[in-house]
Amino acid sequence: MQKNRCHLSVAILYFSGTHQDDKDTISGVKGIEESLRRTGHPVQKVIVTKKNLQQALATPGDIVFNFVEDDTWELYEKIGYGLEKLHRAQVGHDITGLKYAVRKSPMKHIMKKMHISTPNYEIFAESSKRIHPGNLRFPIIIKPANQHAGIGISQHSVVTREKEFLAQVKHMIRTYPG
């Protein structure tokens, strides 16, 4: 006897930019869509932009994948808050967790306050008057402060000299927003 399968409808909302991680997102979306369709789940995909934000939030689906990983996370937050406000089921962390997943500085402050060991750090921006390792000791890992996972981290991220440090920090500032 064959079991009855519950086929949930799925909405996949995503951002389509030009960075390598955007290409990775698109590849992941394609893989998830193929897997879901193969198992009988209807899927709707929407590329989210500022212009179609409300339409994207209204995309039908029993469950929503929020892969709207735009450069500033503005669209991601708006989609996340909108889905929560509409009481829509979504895959991943809740929107409160975003500030800790993406913005490293608040998480580091909380960890230090709670006496959880974490490496020292400095935040540099385009407006920084001084880009210098300060009290940090080499080797130092340079990474974007407002990206998640390993985005922006490469072999060049590990620096052992001040000249490499300055070059990599400037590269991060030019390449990644925030």
- For 84-96, the pLDDT digits (tens) are 999 999 997 777 7
* Predicted local distance difference test score (pLDDT) of residue 94: 76
Whole domain around residue 32: which residue ranges?
A: 10-100
* Predicted local distance difference test score (pLDDT) of residue 178: 61
In the chain, what's the furthest Cα-to-Cα distance?
72
Query: Which domain-ending residue is among 100, 123, 151?
Result: 100
pLDDT confidence tier of residue 56, bands split at 50, 70 and 90:
very high
Query: Position 76: which residue type?
Result: Y
Instruction: Check whether residue 135 and residue 115 sit in a common domain.
Output: yes
Percentage, residues of the chain above pLDDT 70: 94
> In total, how many domains does the chain have?
2
Q: Can you give the CATH number for the domain in which 31 is found? A: 3.40.50.20
* Predicted local distance difference test score (pLDDT) of residue 149: 67
Q: How many Å apart are CA 91 and CA 75, to the nearest integer? A: 16
Residue 159: C-alpha distances to residues 69, 82, 94, 127, 140 (Å): 28, 41, 34, 22, 5
The pTM assigned to this predicted structure is 0.70
pLDDT 10s digits, 119-169: 888 888 888 888 889 889 999 999 988 777 677 888 999 999 999 999 999
* Predicted local distance difference test score (pLDDT) of residue 1: 45
Q: What is the mean pLDDT of residues 102-117?
A: 86
